[in-house]
Structure 1
C-alpha cells in the first residue's frame, strides 16, 4: 500500500514537472482581461477585411489609451495579427491575437511605428524578431 502511494506521488510530481515544461508562460492575470477582450473585438471587426494597408495603426484602441497595430499574418482564417504596442503582457510576452499566427513586417515599419507612437521595449524586440530588411 505504501509503495503504491509513493509511486503515485512520484507520478504526480513528474506529471507536474512535465506540465510546467510544456506550459512555461504565466496564466492570464485578471487585470489583463480588458486588453485581451479589446483585441478580440478588434480582430473580429477586421477578420473579413481583405484590403487593409498594413501596418494598420489604431490609436487609443484599448481602454482609450493603448495603441494597436494590425499586421498581415500567414493564416487564411485570421488574415491579420493584432498587437498592443504600448504595453507588454508581463510573463506572457506581448499582447498578440491570434497568438499562434506568424507575421512579418519590414524593419522600416518598426522604425515608423516607433516614430509615430510609444512602443514598449518588449514589443519592439518582438517586432524586430519578425522584421525583414535592414535594421
Structure 2
C-alpha cells in the first residue's frame, strides 16, 4: 500500500545513490590531490613565478655575477639567477628550495648554458639549498674557476 506522499523510492535505493555520490566525491578529491597538484599543473605557480622574475630582470647587468633573491614575497622561494650564454636570456633563474614532484629542477629558461663557480654554491645559505636535488644539479654544472663569480658570500 502506497502512502499518498511517498515518492516511490525505497530506502536502499536512496542509500545506494548517496554511496555512489560519496565514492565519486572521494575519487575526485584523490585525483585532485594525487594527480593534478603534483603533475604539470602542480608546478604552474612556480614556473609562472620564475617567468615574472625573468621578465623583470632581463635587462639586469650580468657582470655582477649570480644573484640570490631570498624568500621571495609570500612564495617562500629562494631563487638563484645564474649568468647564461644566451644573449636573449642573460640569466637562468632557478628555485633553490623546491623541485617538481618528479624531481625536476624548477628553472627558466632551460638550456642557456648557465654558469656558476663551485665556490659560490658552497657559500649559499643552507636554508636556501634545502632541496638535495637542486644542490646536486648545481654541483653538476659548477666550475672550479674562482674568477667566474665576483661575489663569494650572499646576504642572509
Say yes or no: TM over 0.5.
yes
Tell me, in whole angstroms, the C-alpha distance in 2 between the residues paired with 1:92 and 1:47. Answer: 27
CA, structure 1 residues 85+60, in 2 after alignment: closer, same or farther (shift >3 Å)? same
Runs (4+) of structure 1 exceeding 3 A deviation are none
For structure 1, the 5+ residue unaligned runs are: 1-26
Structure (1 or 2) with the larger CA radius of gyration: 2
68, 77, 82: which one pairs with 2:93?
A: 82
For structure 2, the 5+ residue unaligned runs are: 1-37, 146-156
Tell me, in whole angstroms, the C-alpha distance in 1 between the residues paired with 2:73 and 2:85. Answer: 24
Tell me, in whole angstroms, the C-alpha distance in 2 between the residues paired with 1:129 and 1:51. Answer: 21
8 Å Cα contact 1:55-1:70 kept in structure 2: yes
The aligned residue for residue 37 of structure 1 is: 48
CA, structure 1 residues 129+122, in 2 after alignment: closer, same or farther (shift >3 Å)? same
Tell me, in whole angstroms, the C-alpha distance in 2 between the residues paired with 1:74 and 1:98. Answer: 12
CA, structure 1 residues 108+50, in 2 after alignment: closer, same or farther (shift >3 Å)? same
Q: CA deviation at 1:44?
A: 0.1
8 Å Cα contact 1:113-1:119 kept in structure 2: no
